[in-house]
Structure 1
Amino acid sequence: MSDSLQAAIDQARDQLDAHTLEIVHWHFSDNTGCPFWLEKKRELNFDPLTEVKCFEDLNKFPDFEDEWLRGGPVRRWVPQGLADKPVYVFETGGTTGVPKSRIAIDDFRTDYSLFSDTLPDQYFPPGGNWLMLGPSGPRRLRLAVEHLAQHRGGICFCIDLDPRWVIKLIKKGWMDHLEEYKKHCIDQAITILTAGHDVKCMFGTPKLIESLCLELENRGTSLAECGITGIFSGGTEFTPQWTKFCVEELFGGPPEKSGIYMTPTYGNTLMGLACSEPVTAENKYKITYHAPQPRAVLQVVDFDETDRVVGYGETGRSKLTTLTKEFFVPGFLERDEGEREPPYEKYPWDGISGVRPFSKLAGGTTVGVY
């Protein structure tokens, strides 16, 4: 490890510790904290205001429970220090039972503005219009991509897509209906791309990007001919094998040949966006993600001892900690697993590669459109 990388790692760790202290004090102080955490403080066997001095001290908290995010009143999550702000609510899950909800004020804008700084202007031209080919409804992604387009000076065109209906179709085995619904979504996208709106950039899930490329080919055209130069995508379907196929077969080669640049991301309603190290043929299309520290931290932990981070290259479960003034989530065990990766020059903290559904839950997980 170079001296410069080690210095960056140390600086990032110091920044994370200081940020952790600030966020914990915000959420557990009577005048700024949210009702949920102020009430939960009485149940804890320690005082967060005096006993949390660094990020590692968050291990004092019990693992965050899924069920805490299901049902209302949702305003119990609104910090008193932000109570006068307009509040959004975003949902995740909800195929069966009550969906998980989180409040948001500006986090989604902040996350995607930061992500914007990582996009190369050559392929994501400032002022370029966008297509949002992904889930709509009560999900963060639609508004977030729209903000990203606006932040970069463009206008975002969105389609209608209900992933809960897609998952129900899969569970019922109605594959003909599923295929028709997918065609319906792709038809919406192609209508936008061929309507003279000068769309240059897009978000799409891997399966939908593939379906879009194949349907455009059936119609005698391509993404490049439609004017697309930059694609931002995400999801656990984003594998090295699919990326290789997509770049070499669907796009027609790497960016310098095809004119299309694609960047994978790993994100969700709680975390924001984890950016990828460059994905190239030289590194066999390996995809390694790094969380947006210090606003969120991803750890790869032992499947049974979830407070223990596994060694580099070892497999474990993804554990997320969210650290913003809007939302504090310590130790949320994700429905994903992967391999722990070392810090990187641009992102001098741990990463995760090979992200896939958590093996112990995968049998009951319907990936759907993603």
Structure 2
Amino acid sequence: MASDGDLSAAASAARAALDAHTVETVAWHFHDSTGCPFWLEKKRELKFDPLTEIKSYDDLKKFPAFEDEWLRGGPVRRWVPKGLADKPVYVFETGGTTGIPKSRIAIDDFRTDYSNFSDTLPDKYFPKGSNWLMLGPSGPRRLRLAVEHLAQHRGGICFCIDLDPRWVIKLIKKGWMEHLEAYKKHCIDQAITILGAGHDVKCMFGTPKLIEALCLALEEKGTSLAEQGITGIFSGGTEFTPQWTRFCVEELFGGPPEKSGIYMTPTYGNTLMGLACSKPVTKEDGYKISYYAPQPRAVVEVVEFDDYDKVVEYGATGRVKLTTLTKEFFVPGFLERDEGEREKPFAKYPWDGVSGVRPFHELADATTVGVY
């Protein structure tokens, strides 16, 4: 276990790396030769010069609040940096249940994020060369291509189901619960077909609700995830709570990895950030889930509800604020629709984390979780 002195030194080094990365990223996005049209145009409105006045991560507070609406509608190519203009570009979308969905361009970020995430997975439960099942949203979402890349990066092949979360949310809002159950069964049936088709699938991605539904459907058929050969599960979603994790590990899987043979790692991710990994989740720690962003490529802060420039004390509750810092995409201080508690750094991730992630209370009534 790292000593306080070691952790402090690691945290200082991580901060220095973040400051340097911030300066480099801002210079890229605001230089006339490499920057993207959106930020080059925005630069004319700013009251400071990003190329000379951003000298550390804290200096990003000079930027005005990033507006949600900037990501809705096009032209989407205004987000493509000139320095990457000759590369093939993907577009990933979020939400879209009310009006125009938010979108972001991507070139290699999703591959980089998931290659890095791959390094955190234990080979014992996520064997190299194993095939994967992607039990999550398809369509214009980053997750499908990202999980597919993760499988390929680890030497496997990914099997995907067809799932439209926008339709799920419409069914919930209309109160068509019978249709919702039928659609969920349709998705689970696809997964069970893949697992029973002799493809040697050992690893999977699934959202909490879908993992639970799959386990219960397999139980009805007199079998289980373990009997179907699954050993490693990468999961994510706002429904990932300590209570659900305990239920899942103890009841659905049949115990911790050493007993059930199934290892599950929770993550917190989205189209803008990439993927935040969690500290190991254990019974001894009450199945508490603490997430740490992939610094320096992305930074998560837990800020005061009435002052978004002020970080809360450790253990206190605040809104989640995200900053994305890659050559493809620069988003300073994006206010997520989530809240949680600020967590201290630890050895593997020597920077702040967030636990208890849940819908931001001021928006919670308007948030429909759907398949997540």
What's the TM-score bracket when you normalise by the shorter of the two chains?
Answer: over 0.9
**Aligned residue among 15, 32, 35 for 1:33:** 35
Cα distance between partner residues in 1 of 2:225 and 2:349: 31
Partner of 1:243: 245
Task: Point out where structure 2 has 5 or more consecutive residues left out of the alignment.
Answer: none
Partner of 1:304: 306
Partner of 1:358: 360
Cα distance between partner residues in 2 of 1:301 and 1:38: 28
Q: Residue deviations 1:115-152, cap 9 Å, x none?
A: 00000000000000000000000000000000000000
Cα distance between partner residues in 1 of 2:306 and 2:36: 31
| TM-score, length-scaled by structure 1 | 1.00
**Cα RMSD for the two superposed structures:** 0.4
Q: How does 1:66-145 map to 2 (within 5 A)?
A: 66-145=68-147
**Aligned residue among 176, 179, 185 for 2:178:** 176
| TM-score, length-scaled by structure 2 | 0.99
Cα distance between partner residues in 1 of 2:65 and 2:130: 42
Cα distance between partner residues in 2 of 1:319 and 1:127: 37
Q: How does 1:240-279 map to 2 (within 5 A)?
A: 240-279=242-281
Q: Residue deviations 1:303-329, cap 9 Å, x none?
A: 110000000000000000000000000
**Aligned residue among 59, 62, 75 for 2:61:** 59
SS at match of 2:32: coil
Cα distance between partner residues in 2 of 1:236 and 1:91: 18
Q: Residue deviations 1:184-231, cap 9 Å, x none?
A: 000000000000000000000000000000000000000000000000
Task: Point out where structure 1 has 5 or more consecutive residues left out of the alignment.
Answer: none
SS at match of 1:221: coil
Pairs aligned (count): 370
Cα distance between partner residues in 2 of 1:305 and 1:281: 35
SS at match of 1:13: helix
Q: Which amino acid letter does the alignment assign opposite residue 320 of structure 1?
A: L
SS at match of 1:249: helix
Partner of 1:314: 316
SS at match of 1:308: strand
Q: Which amino acid letter does the alignment assign opposite residue 39 of structure 2?
A: W
Answering whether residue 48 of structure 2 is matched by residue 49 of structure 1, we say: no
Cα distance between partner residues in 2 of 1:324 and 1:72: 21
Cα distance between partner residues in 2 of 1:273 and 1:63: 23
Q: Residue deviations 1:5-47, cap 9 Å, x none?
A: 0110000000000000000000000000000000000001111
Partner of 1:17: 19
**Aligned residue among 286, 299, 303 for 2:288:** 286
Q: How far did residue 96 of structure 1 move?
A: 1.4
Q: How does 1:141-180 map to 2 (within 5 A)?
A: 141-180=143-182
Q: How far did residue 79 of structure 1 move?
A: 0.1
Cα distance between partner residues in 2 of 1:68 and 1:304: 23
SS at match of 1:353: strand
Cα distance between partner residues in 1 of 2:368 and 2:65: 24
Cα distance between partner residues in 2 of 1:226 and 1:237: 25
Q: Which amino acid letter does the alignment assign opposite residue 303 of structure 2?
A: V
Cα distance between partner residues in 1 of 2:250 and 2:269: 25
Partner of 2:211: 209
Q: Residue deviations 1:155-191, cap 9 Å, x none?
A: 0000000000000000000000000000000000000
Cα distance between partner residues in 2 of 1:304 and 1:320: 17
Q: How far did residue 339 of structure 1 move?
A: 0.1
Q: How far did residue 2 of structure 1 move?
A: 1.2
